[in-house]
Chain A
Amino acid sequence: MSTLKPRDTAAGSNGTEPALNPVQAAAEAGLTVVDWIDERTQLSPGIRWMMFRKVPRGINWAYTLGSATMFAFLNQAVTGVFLAMFYRPDANGGAYESIRNINDNVFLGQFVHGMHKWGASVMIILIFLHMGRVFFFGAYKYPRELTWIIGVVLLILTMAMGFTGYLLPFDQRSYWATIVGVNINNTAPFLGPYIGDFLRGGPEFGATTLSRFYAIHMMLIPGLMAALIGLHLYLVMKLGISAPPWLSRTSPRPRPRSSRSR
C-alpha cells in the first residue's frame, strides 16, 4: 500500500542516489507514473476514505448482499456486452436466428447467454434478499431514507430490465409473454392505453416494439442504473453502515472477559 501514502521525497534530494538495477528502475518508473496521476487527481485520499471506513460491531454475512447484487449487475453488464456483439434486433426472424446462432455456433455463446439469463434471476433474488435485510434490520431509517428510495428506483429499473430483456429472443414464449405484459400495462386507468402505445411503439406489436425494447434494455436503463448505483454506493459510504438492531447504540463496548469481576 505504499502508493496510498505520500512518499518520502527527502531521501533522494541529496543527489547521491545509488544505481538501480532494471527491475528497481521499472518499479520506480511505475511508482512515478502513479504518483504523477495521484498528485493531479488526489485519488488516494478518496480511495482511503472509501476503503478504510469504520464499520459497526456485529455486522455479518447478511451485510454482503448489497455487494452481491452489484456484482450480479456487473455480470449482467459484461455478459450483455458480449451478447450484443452477436444479437440482431430484427423482428423478421433475424433476432431469433441470431440467438440460435449464439447458442449453437458462437464459442461459449450458450454459456454466456445462460449466464445472462440465469444471472437476471439471481440478481432479482439478491435484490429482494438485500431489501429484506435492510428492512428487517431497520437500516432504512434516518439518515438513510434517500438510500432506500434510490434502492427502490433501482428495483423498479431492474424489473424493467427483466421485462424488456424477456422479449429479445423473440421466440413464441417471449412474444406472447410480452404481449400479455404490455396488455397488463394497458389496464391502468386513464393512462393505460397510452402506456401501451408507448411500449409497443404504436397500436400494433411488431418490429418497432422489438427495436424499442432493445434500445431501452441496453442503452437507457443500464446508464440510469449505473448512475444510481454510484449514488447509492456514495450514500452508503458517506452515511456509514447501520449497526445491527440487536446492538444498542448507547451500550458500552463489552469489557474483555478477563477483566470482569463477579
Chain B
Amino acid sequence: MHLGCPVRYSEAAERFICPCHGGVYNFRGEVAGGPPVRPLDRFYTFVANDYVYIGPRYSVNSELQRFHPRDPGEPLDGIGQYLYPSRPDTPTLPSTKDLPLPPTVPGTSV
C-alpha cells in the first residue's frame, strides 16, 4: 500500500497496481515503480490442522528485512525506521496452540 488505497493484482501486468497514484509492485511485493516508499506489508503464515493460517502483519524494507508493522507511507530504509517508531503494543506472533478450527469446506466433509 502506498497511502492506504487497496492494491489489487493485475493479471495482464503480472504486478500489483495501486489505483490511486499508480504505485506498482512486483509479484513479491517489491516496489517496481511509482510513489510507494516500501514494499507491500506481509503476513506471518503457518500450517496447522492441515490448513494455512494467517498471522499478524509485518512490514519489510526494500531488502525484505522484517520490521514491526508500520502505517502506509512510512519508509523503512535508512533513517526511515527511526523517523517512524512503531507502536509499543505491537502484536507478537501468537502461539500455534488452541487455534480456532477452520470452517468446513462444503462437499469435503466425510
Q: Bound state CA distance, A176 and B6, in angstroms?
A: 9
Distance in Å from the Cβ of A157 to the closest Cβ of chain B?
24
Cross-chain contact of A183 among B72, B83, B87 (Cβ < 8 A): B72
Contact flags A173-184 to B (C-beta < 8 A → 1, else 0) = 000100110111
- The answer to whether B3 touches A193, judged by C-beta atoms less than 8 angstroms apart, is no
Residues of chain A within 8 A of B5, CB atoms compared = 176, 179-180
- Chain B residues lying within 8 Å of A176, measured Cβ to Cβ, are 4-6
Tell me whether A189 and B84 are in contact (CB under 8 A): yes
| With contact pairs A186-B72, A196-B71 given, residues A180 and B87 touching in the complex (Cβ less than 8 Å) | no
16 cross-chain CB contacts under 8 A: A176-B6, A180-B3, A180-B4, A180-B5, A182-B4, A183-B4, A184-B3, A186-B84, A187-B3, A187-B74, A187-B84, A190-B83, A190-B85, A192-B74, A193-B71, A193-B86
- In the bound complex, do residue B86 and residue A187 qualify as a contact, i.e. CB atoms below 8 Å apart? no
Contact A186 B71 (CB under 8 A): yes
Known A192-B74, A193-B71: A183·B3 in contact at CB below 8 Å = yes
Which among A184, A187, A203 has the greatest number of chain B C-beta atoms within 10 A?
A: A187
Considering only CB atoms and an 8 Å cut-off, how many residues of chain A contact the other chain? 15
Whether, in the assembled complex, B20 has its beta carbon less than 8 Å from a beta carbon of chain A, the answer is yes
Q: Which residues of A contact B22 (CB under 8 A)?
A: none
How many residue pairs bridge A and B at CB < 8 Å? 44
Interface residues of chain A, those whose CB is within 8 Å of chain B, are 176, 179-180, 182-184, 186-187, 189-190, 192-193, 196-197, 203
What's the least CB distance linking A138 to chain B, in Å? 39
Q: Which residues of B contact A180 (CB under 8 A)?
A: 3-5, 20
Please give the distance in Å from B67's CB to the nearest CB on chain A: 13
Assuming the contacts A176-B5, A180-B20, asked whether A186 and B73 have C-beta atoms less than 8 A apart, the reply is yes
Please report whether the interface of chain A is mostly helix, strand, loop or mixed according to DSSP.
helix
Chain B residues contacting A184 (CB-CB under 8 Å) are 3, 73
Bound CA–CA A189/B74 (angstroms) = 9
A192-B84 contact in complex given A183-B73, A186-B71, A187-B74, C-beta closer than 8 Å: yes
- Chain B interface size, as a band, is 10 to 19
Chain A residue contacts of B3, Cβ below 8 A: 180, 183-184, 187
A184 to B37 Cα, complex, angstroms: 12
Tell me which residues across on chain B come within 8 A of A189, comparing CB atoms.
83-84
The interface residues of chain A lying within 8 Å CB-to-CB of B71 are 183, 186, 192-193, 196
The CA-CA distance from A180 to B3 in the complex, in Å, is 5
A94 to chain B, nearest CB (A): 23
A193 to B80, CA, bound (A): 13
Q: Taking the nearest CB of chain A, how far is it from the CB of B100, in angstroms?
A: 20
Distance between Cα atoms of A189 and B86 in the complex (Å)? 12
**When the two chains form their complex, are residues B4 and A193 in contact, meaning their CB atoms are under 8 A apart?**
no
Cβ of A81 to closest chain B Cβ, rounded Å: 32
**When the two chains form their complex, are residues B73 and A193 in contact, meaning their CB atoms are under 8 A apart?**
no
Residue in chain B with minimal CB distance to A197? B87
Bound form: Cα–Cα A118–B45 in Å: 48
A186 & B20 in contact (Cβ 8 Å cutoff): no
18 more CB-based (< 8 A) A-B contacts, given A190-B85, A203-B87:
A176-B4, A176-B6, A180-B4, A180-B20, A182-B4, A183-B3, A183-B72, A186-B72, A186-B74, A187-B3, A187-B73, A187-B84, A189-B83, A190-B84, A192-B74, A192-B84, A193-B84, A196-B71
For chain B, residues 1 to 43, give those with C-beta under 8 angstroms from any C-beta of chain A: 3-6, 20
CA A203 to CA B84, docked complex, whole Å: 14
